[in-house]
Amino acid sequence: MEAGPSGTQASPVTRSVAGPARHPATVANVTAEQTHAPRLTSLSPGAGCACKLPLAKLEQLFAGLQGAPAMGPAAGDLLVGAAEGDDAAVLRLDDERALVLTTDFFTPIVDDPGDWGRIAAANALSDVYAMGGRPLFAVNLAAWPGEGLDLAILGQVLRGGAEVAAQAGCFVAGGHTIDDPVPKYGLAVTGLADPARLMTIDRATPGDQLILTKAIGTGVVATALKHGQAPEDVITAAVASMTLLNAGASQAALQAGVIAATDVTGFGLLGHLHRMLAASQTAARIHAASVPLLPGAAELAAAGFISGGTRANTERMRGFAAVDPAVPAEVAVLLHDAQTSGGLLLAAPPAGAPALLDALRAQGLPAALIGDIVAGASGHVDVYPARSE
């Protein structure tokens, strides 16, 4: 439900992560006279969750909305609301049932319309899983050029989204579409959860073990793809990760007694961890060598395929993330990389962490123990090269 960083501008010749990109992206002109469909990723200056507004701007926006009607802290049956800044809103129906509500949509992250639909749907559904819920039904959210881009392509996007929703046991019941020169697609999702077994971002405690359920690197892959520089096998691996539902990971976490979790999307691994730590008044240690990376991601980061969203994440985390100079530069980039449909970041009780890790890996997930929660300055993350024995 939370928004994320914006912009996808990169140069394949620079490895710097500081400062804004210098050249503006432009939206391609699509005319009815074109004899073939354009690359979807050419139609937007951003891609996937990297097209969202930066965290720093959102924090400023919501600070100005304090006291606005109906946007105050959760109270009564509203268990999680806007003020909590969690992955989804939660409304208690009774002692055993709570509704989980979220929405997410973004511009094309890949050129295959069906894959874009599948990725966007999996990404939207992930917020429900991050809260410990299961999706019930959803409605489509779509923006499409009224002229010049075949409506049949939108049909392929919607079909892809419906396929993933069906995998989740989630009905797609209509939706809303507007005329827009930049295509966008996603879902508004309603789920159901046990109010006594919610996973939220504000309950991480010192000693908890941090487990990440998917590899990171989708942002650099998407940026390289947009520039026509991503190898096909790297794209295939990234799409497979982004279309994989977090349903099994969520169930395993609930069974292990996890009560603090989030999903890793536009703010990057360190950004989403920071939000969890700030809400929980704790700090964390991360071991960079333990963080799973998508195939080819490190090489693309080293080549300079860094999105504007990732640059914004890096700026936002200055003063909150202390990255050891021994951490490779490309890995440091990936720790801030703006993800789309990433995995769950779980703060697991230490006694149950080994069994949870085994259960996740038994599902075929590249789950890894990447660090731990510690007492310290609220929201601070220390990143070390590797775990010391």
Q: Hey, is 330 helix, strand or coil?
A: helix
* CB of 267 closer than 8 Å to CB of 5: yes
Closest alpha carbon to 308 in 222, 243, 236, 240: 222
State the virtual CA torsion across 217, 220, 225, 227 in degrees, nearest 10: -170
- Residues known to be catalytic: 49
Q: Which of the 8 DSSP states describes residue 131?
A: T
Q: Which of the 8 DSSP states describes residue 293?
A: B
How far is the C-alpha of 86 from the C-alpha of 83, rounded, in Å?
A: 8
Closest alpha carbon to 187 in 149, 213, 207, 160: 160
Instruction: Name residue 287's beta-bridge partners.
Output: 384
| Number of neighbours of residue 33 by Cβ within 10 angstroms | 6
* CB of 239 closer than 8 Å to CB of 115: yes
Per-residue b or e along 81-91, where b marks 16 or more CB atoms closer than 10 Å to that residue's CB = bbebbbbbbbb
**Residue type for position 287:** H
Q: Is the dihedral of CA 89, 372, 293, 279 positive or negative?
A: positive
Instruction: Name residue 144's beta-bridge partners.
Output: 179
* CB of 349 closer than 8 Å to CB of 330: no
